[in-house]
Amino acid sequence: MDSHAPVLLDEVLTLLNPAGDDWIVDCTLGLGGHSQAMLEAAGADAHLIGLDTDEANVLRAKDNLGPLAKQGRFFHANFSSLPDVLEAIDRPAVDVILADLGFCSNQMDTPERGLSFQADGPLDMRLDTSEGPTAADIVNTTDETDLANLIYEFGEERLSRRIARRIVEARADGAIETTAALAEIVRKAYPPAVRHKSRIDPATRTFQALRIAVNDELGVLDELLAMLPEILAPGGRCGIISFHSLEDRRVKHRFRDLRETHQVELLTKKPIIATPEEIERNPRSRSAKLRGIQKRD
């Protein structure tokens, strides 16, 4: 069994309180850790609707759920198409929605997916490998200004212009096809003094920017946030776990707007973060932020 430690697990269960015959949507099945815990907490009458844009993870989650999979319906789908999924199963509103954004450790640790600069692999980065441009397509075809803007906006990278210039210079000698090649170009774009002072690998922000662009992460998150009032049943709860400030800011603002228009109550005034013990056990939880809302009755 693949393993992925679900982040903020107890906090998710307390916040979303899956119970009875709830209809539970896991927007990001991953390896099924949160789904399993939510079904176990809710009991045998609960129903799971599980989605993942990575088809292999849908199968893994189903497998990992074992006998609990009987309580679920599983879809290889982006959560931006959740309304279509709900329509297909004739379930207009649900009681619990969880989105645990981003990537699973099994995806990050597979060099062929090209998500990480820690190991060399093709510059792909797509979560759904059945469609869409790869990171190599973007890096090799986007003009310098647009590339700089993308790295600045999605990576919050102050050296975006220098990095874009280096990328465009490098690709004049041939397409940039691998994560190692791109990481090296980005590292060299950093002035040595800045590079030595940096606490993170200089490639970190540029890789984040490309992952966000390739998977339209902010666009699909906005779509999910927009649909919540329609698809949550009265009293229904939604929790979103984000891993960087660009996502968390969007969640925070949308949740506040929904409260100000009296559609929901906030379940979290401030985001819930991992305890020191969890961070020790699972370093990935360090940047996780969980926010929740409950639809008014």
Ligand X SMILES: C[S@@+](CC[C@H](N)C(=O)[O-])C[C@H]1O[C@@H](n2cnc3c(N)ncnc32)[C@H](O)[C@@H]1O
Applying CB under 6 A, the residues found at the interface with ligand X are: 4, 6, 27-28, 30-34, 51-54, 57, 78-79, 100, 102-104, 127, 220
Q: Which is nearer to ligand X, 6 or 292 (CB)?
A: 6
Compute the least distance from the CB of residue 218 to ligand X, in Å. 10
Compute the least distance from the CB of residue 16 to ligand X, in Å. 12
Give the span between the Cα atoms of 38 and 51, in whole angstroms. 15
Cβ proximity of 206 and 188 under 8 Å: no
Report CA dihedral (160, 161, 165, 171) to the nearest 10 degrees.
Answer: 30
Burial of 73 (0-12, 13-18, 19+ CB in 10 A): middle
Q: Provide the terminal-to-terminal Cα distance of the chain, rounded to the nearest Å.
A: 40
Q: Which is nearer to ligand X, 19 or 37 (CB)?
A: 37
Q: Which is nearer to ligand X, 3 or 275 (CB)?
A: 3
Q: Which is nearer to ligand X, 80 or 160 (CB)?
A: 80
Compute the least distance from the CB of residue 27 to ligand X, in Å. 6
Compute the least distance from the CB of residue 31 to ligand X, in Å. 4
Rg (CA), the chain: 20
Compute the least distance from the CB of residue 133 to ligand X, in Å. 16
Q: Which is nearer to ligand X, 113 or 166 (CB)?
A: 113
Q: How far is CA 75 from the centre of its chain?
A: 17
- Per-position DSSP letters for 90-151, written without gaps between them: T---EEEEEEE-S--HHHHT-GGG---SSS--BS---SSTTSS--HHHHHHHS-HHHHHHHH
Give the span between the Cα atoms of 223 and 219, in whole angstroms. 6
Helix (H) or strand (E) holding 15: helix 9-16
Using DSSP's 3-state secondary structure scheme, residue 8 falls into coil
Compute the least distance from the CB of residue 151 to ligand X, in Å. 21
Q: Which is nearer to ligand X, 8 or 176 (CB)?
A: 8
Give the span between the Cα atoms of 74 and 48, in whole angstroms. 8
Compute the least distance from the CB of residue 241 to ligand X, in Å. 8
Q: Which is nearer to ligand X, 127 or 139 (CB)?
A: 127
Compute the least distance from the CB of residue 98 to ligand X, in Å. 7
Q: Which is nearer to ligand X, 24 or 167 (CB)?
A: 24
Residue of this chain nearest to ligand X (CB atom): 30
Cβ contacts of 172 within 8 Å, gap of 6 or more: none
